[in-house]
Structures are given as C-alpha cells and as structure tokens.
Chain A
Amino acid sequence: MICLSKHEQGADLLAGYLAKTLDAPRMAELARHIQGCSDCRGLASVWERLDEFAVPEVSPGFDARLYARIAAEDARRPWWYRLVWPPIAPAIAIAVAALILFVQVPAGPDATKQVNKTEIEQVAQAVDDLDLLIPLENR
C-alpha cells in the first residue's frame, strides 16, 4: 500500500502524482489508493483547487515603464562609465597597454644605466663599511 502521509517518499510521490510524472504502474497504484484514503485524496485534490488561482494579464505599459527606468538609470551614470563597460573595455585595455609600451620603450636604456650605477654605489658603500668594522691591529 502507498499512503502519501506515511510513506517515507511521500513528498516525492505526491509531487510526482500531482505533476503526472510517475511511471504508469505507480500512477495506477496511487490512483487506486487515493480512492480509498481521504487524507491522500485531500492532498491530491489540492492540485486542482490551486487551479482556481488565476492571474490577471500583465499591464500593456509594463515594457515601456521598464525601458523608461532603464533609460533614466543609464542617464544618471557618469560619462566615464561607458569607457569601462565590457563591450569596449578590451579596446580600452589594448590602448592603455600600447600607451604604456610606448612610454616604457624609449626610457629602457636610460633606466638600465641608472640601475647599474646604483648597484656600483651600493657595493662601494658596503666595502667602506667593512673597512670601518675591521680592527686596526688586523690590518
């Protein structure tokens, strides 16, 4: 016997029965049980009762109101917002990368020279410091 209220899979069976998605033998078995079980008959009839809850049509101006809200929201956005919006963001990213390369490349050799000069100065300073630390008698 399948009693929806007592069966451990009652919720599954009820939903499957109500939605008519159970296999044919299960549907037939449940239908037979429901005939003689008032609790289950009540559960099954809920589905039909809920069909009474009709809904009104969506108002004709719904889309127009929505698009007006979207337009108003877009209008409030700052001018730079469009620059970071995804459809054109890749182009902006490429342009920025190109600009950085353009600025970096001419500066390259000078920058390398500067780094080398700094390294030499640091080594010379370290040698001077070592000289100060070595006691005079060890010299």
Chain B
Amino acid sequence: MLKQPPQPSSDPRVQEDMEAVVALERDAQLMLRVREGDDTSFALLLERHRGPVVHFLYRMVQNQAVSEELAQEVFLRVYRSRETYEPTAKFTTWLFRIATHVALNSIRDRKKEKGHESLDEEMLDGLERQVADRQPSVEQEMVHEVKLREVRQAIEALPAKQRAAVLMHKYEGLDYTQIAGVLSCSESAIKSLLFRAYESLRDRLAHMA
C-alpha cells in the first residue's frame, strides 16, 4: 500500500520554520557557489540581506551614512571570506556576527573619538522626515517625531550588547539560538539579557504607554 504523503501543515509557525529551513539552505548554497567563483550568487545574497543588514546597523549606530558604510564593510568581509567559507552555522548567524562585530567596533571607536557625543541632530531630523513617508498634519508629525526620538534614545541608552540582542530579536526575527551564536553566549544568557533590555526599555518608555 502506498504511504500517504505528508500533508502541508496549516500552522503558520510550522510553515515559517519550513520556509526558514529552505532559506537557510539557499543562502548556504549561494555562498558555496560564491566560493566557487559565481558572482551572480553573491549578487543574490546581497539582494536578500542588504536591507536587514543596513537596517540593523542603522538602528545600532543611528546614522544612515555610517550604517551604510559599515554594511559595505560587512559585505566586503563576506566576499573576502568566500574562499574559506564553510556552512558550519546558519548563514544569517554568520552574517549578523560580522555585522554585530563591525557595529560594536564602530560604537567603541566613536565613544573613544567623541567622548559619547550626542548624535548629529541635523542628520537625525532629516532622517526622521525621510522615514515619515505619510502626509500627516504638522501636529501628528511632531508627535511622531517626538515618539521616534524617545524610542531611539531609549535604544541608544542600552548597553551595546543588549542593544544588538533587542534589534536582532525584535526587528530581524532571529531566534535565541541565532542571537546566542552571534553574541557568543549561551541561550539562557541571551534570555536574561533580553529580559533586562526589555525591562530597561519599559522603564524608559513608560510615559508613552
């Protein structure tokens, strides 16, 4: 008797997991092709991960020019590493490990250079206008900008490692295992780190609730 083929699960979480597995294999396969000299595969990887990497770095350093410069460094390192690449970890974990390393170095260097100087207000204002692509009233726009500024400041006030963990967890959809892989910590350490970070954010953003 023929065995019944497995039916696709209707559970969206299972489907998401399956899609993630397929995506993982595709990324690793693409990177292996890059290792063999296929530049088209590098272009595909860039297309898939450019946005998440730039956005993660933007939220880490809160400066568009710097975040794009750092993202260039990340993809340059990926390209340079193609010859020695082995798919021992998820591609995304590897990629975000590079991105986090680059971001933490940049934050450390900026602190050294400028003594934790505040962000360029003019640049921030410009970016806030850029991301607000709706056509709200002046009052709505002002309220939105104030909220945005407070969120940015709350995130910026987190210790760099907590900040990276929250950004990967909240915005990039990395799970505990991946974040632990990126930050070279145990999963339990990451859970505790995230909890402390969310508690800090709650305290800082309590007045916005």
Q: Chain A residues in contact with chain B, CB under 8 A?
A: 5, 10-12, 14-15, 18, 21, 39, 41-43, 45-47, 49-50, 52-59, 62-63, 65-66, 69-70, 73, 85-87
At the interface, yes or no: B92 with Cβ under 8 Å from chain A? no
Tell whether, in the assembled complex, residue A49 and residue B151 are in contact, meaning their CB atoms are under 8 Å apart: yes
**Known A52-B151, A59-B68, A66-B72; further 11 A-B contacts with Cβ < 8 A:** A10-B195, A14-B195, A41-B209, A49-B205, A53-B148, A54-B132, A55-B59, A58-B54, A58-B71, A69-B72, A86-B35
Main secondary structure, interface of B, reads: helix
CB contact under 8 A between A56 and B198, given known A62-B68, A63-B46, A86-B83: no
Indicate the size class of the contact surface on chain B: 35 or more
A-B contact count (CB 8 A): 105
Tell whether, in the assembled complex, residue A53 and residue B195 are in contact, meaning their CB atoms are under 8 Å apart: no
- Report B27-85 residues with CB < 8 Å from chain A CB: 35-37, 43, 46, 50-51, 54-55, 58-59, 64, 68, 71-72, 75-76, 79-80, 83
CB contact under 8 A between A46 and B202, given known A56-B58, A56-B131, A85-B83: yes
Q: How far is B171's CA from A47's CA once the two chains are assembled, in angstroms?
A: 10
Q: Which residue of the partner chain, among B64, B192, B198, contacts A46 with CB atoms under 8 Å?
A: B198
Q: Chain B residues in contact with chain A, CB under 8 A?
A: 13, 35-37, 43, 46, 50-51, 54-55, 58-59, 64, 68, 71-72, 75-76, 79-80, 83, 127, 130-132, 144, 147-148, 151-152, 155, 166, 169-171, 176, 191-192, 194-195, 198-199, 201-203, 205-206, 208-209
Tell whether, in the assembled complex, residue B76 and residue A70 are in contact, meaning their CB atoms are under 8 Å apart: yes
CB contact under 8 A between A58 and B50, given known A12-B191, A45-B209, A66-B76: yes
Tell me which residues across on chain A come within 8 A of B132, comparing CB atoms.
54
